[in-house]
Structure 1
Amino acid sequence: MSNLVLLRHGESTANAEDVFAGWLDVPLTARGRAEARRAAAELAGLAPDAVHTSVLSRAVETARLLVEEARWPLSPSAYWRLNERHYGALQGLAKADARARFGEAEVQSWRRGIDGRPPKTDDAALSAQRADPRYAAYPEAAAISAESLADVAVRMAPYWRHILAPELRRGRTVVVVSHGNALRALMHLSTGVPLEEATQRELRTAAPVAVRAQLDPRMENV
């Protein structure tokens, strides 16, 4: 068993407004920053060897506050593969408006189904994503225009196999600050729980979850 703690970022402006954020770079709210500080107090007795985060501001800021408030002598490392699911054309759209436009059942299948992929983002948004310096060295990231939950698990598998699992195998304690769908995919990859089951897991903002990762090499190919 290993020392792995998963933390969804604090409340963002998109959470507060009930908007699909995906890869949009929305900030934390004042409540989200307070949530990050409370998470730091909960984890104050932990001595992690590393903190990993996505490249999106709401996760980066949560990780920064966590490290500062808990006084951990380390700097978070950011990985694009820890980004939230790319919601394509839904990004920036209020969830109520999405349901009105596409239908309740369709939107729900995109949100909680495994293979449902929302409509792709438009050309202007994709061009801006390709020009983003955070993705300049990763053409596979720059080209993503929409993802299903299964796509997220595939996208995150190299992070699990080549970065996180080797650290845990060395006995290191790692805190991963990321996003709801990304963390559900990571639960699947790190424990072997079926993706369909992991998808149903509710993750509150800035609420630490300890995970017993299975480090059998066979699990790294889930």
Structure 2
Amino acid sequence: MLKLVLLRHGESIWNQENRFTGWTDVDLSEEGLRQAWHAGDVLRQHGYMFDIGFTSVLKRSIKTMHLTLEAMDLLWIPVQKSWRLNERFYGALQGLNKADTIAQYGTEQVQRWRRDPHELPPPITPDDPRYPGHDARYRHLTARELPLTENLSQTITRALPFWTETIVPALRSHQKVLVCAHGNSLRALVQYIDHLSDAEVAELDIPTGTPLVLELDDDLNRLNQYYLEPPTQPGPG
């Protein structure tokens, strides 16, 4: 049996402010820093070890990985970053307060933007300051790879090459893998692994800072999944 641990980053400042974040590179809140350390604390208490970590290129995910590994005394293991594990790109919604957006567009429309795997938020244009083509970390991406908006289905399509070409080989070589990413990029991976329907993934919510363990057979079919319990004693941070 193979085990894969998925971890959504700790609470970010924009999570705290109830804003759409997407690829905006916001930092962890004080609570998010605590959640990241606690995630490592609970993994350590349950006897987990990792050989390799994978994360996005956004600081809230990178810092969560760093603090989690520090709590486990595993800062020495290799960590690979990829834009393919980034959060879903929310287009023109990025930076907007969710309550204000509901007031403007209505609860039903906002819920479709957030949960319907095929619903696209309003796009930005390449001259928008939020366009990732202006960011040096994405300079190697093609114009086709740089999103103007993105739904969950497109997030799956974007994440799958990294899953199949990088994460799967690590699992098949029996490395112990930790993936620290974002709510929607992790929902995308879980939908693919679990063969979830659109209706099922619409109901899927992955909480911040809580390790999700997937037990897989040798063909990477899920046998079981569960969240680890919180640590009995909080760590520093």
- Give RMSD over aligned pairs: 2.0
Query: Equivalent residue for 2:135?
Result: 132
Query: Equivalent residue for 2:164?
Result: 161
Question: One-letter code of the match for 1:50?
Answer: I
Question: One-letter code of the match for 1:172?
Answer: Q
Say if 1:114 and 1:46 are closer, same or farther in 2 by CA, change over 3 A: same
- Structure 1: where are the runs of 5+ without partners? none
Deviation per CA, 1:92-136: give whole Å up to 9, x if none. 000011112222111100111110000002433367521312111
Q: What TM-score, normalized to structure 1?
A: 0.91
Residue 48 of structure 1 deviates from its aligned partner by 0.7
Question: Does the CA contact (< 8 Å) of 2:9 and 2:181 recur in 1?
Answer: yes
Question: Does the CA contact (< 8 Å) of 2:9 and 2:61 recur in 1?
Answer: yes
Query: Equivalent residue for 1:81?
Result: 84
Q: What TM-score, normalized to structure 2?
A: 0.86
Larger mean CA deviation between 27-36 and 183-192 belongs to 183-192
Aligned-pair identity (%): 37
Question: Does the CA contact (< 8 Å) of 1:187 and 1:211 recur in 2?
Answer: no
* Count of residue correspondences: 219
Separation (CA, whole Å) in 1 of partners of 2:187 and 2:212: 11
Query: Equivalent residue for 1:90?
Result: 93
Query: Equivalent residue for 1:207?
Result: 210
Separation (CA, whole Å) in 2 of partners of 1:47 and 1:123: 43
Deviation per CA, 1:10-30: give whole Å up to 9, x if none. 010011000000000000011
Question: One-letter code of the match for 1:12?
Answer: S
Separation (CA, whole Å) in 2 of partners of 1:204 and 1:141: 31
Say if 1:175 and 1:7 are closer, same or farther in 2 by CA, change over 3 A: same
Separation (CA, whole Å) in 2 of partners of 1:177 and 1:133: 22
The structure whose residues are more often helix, as a share, is 1
Question: Does the CA contact (< 8 Å) of 1:7 and 1:208 recur in 2?
Answer: yes
Query: Equivalent residue for 2:8?
Result: 8
Query: Equivalent residue for 2:119?
Result: 116
Say if 1:215 and 1:87 are closer, same or farther in 2 by CA, change over 3 A: farther
Question: Is 2:192 aligned against 1:182?
Answer: no
Residue 47 of structure 1 deviates from its aligned partner by 1.1
Query: Equivalent residue for 2:29?
Result: 29
Deviation per CA, 1:38-91: give whole Å up to 9, x if none. 001011121111111110110011011111121113132111000000000000
Residue 191 of structure 1 deviates from its aligned partner by 3.1
Question: One-letter code of the match for 1:165?
Answer: V
Question: One-letter code of the match for 1:57?
Answer: K
Say if 1:140 and 1:123 are closer, same or farther in 2 by CA, change over 3 A: closer
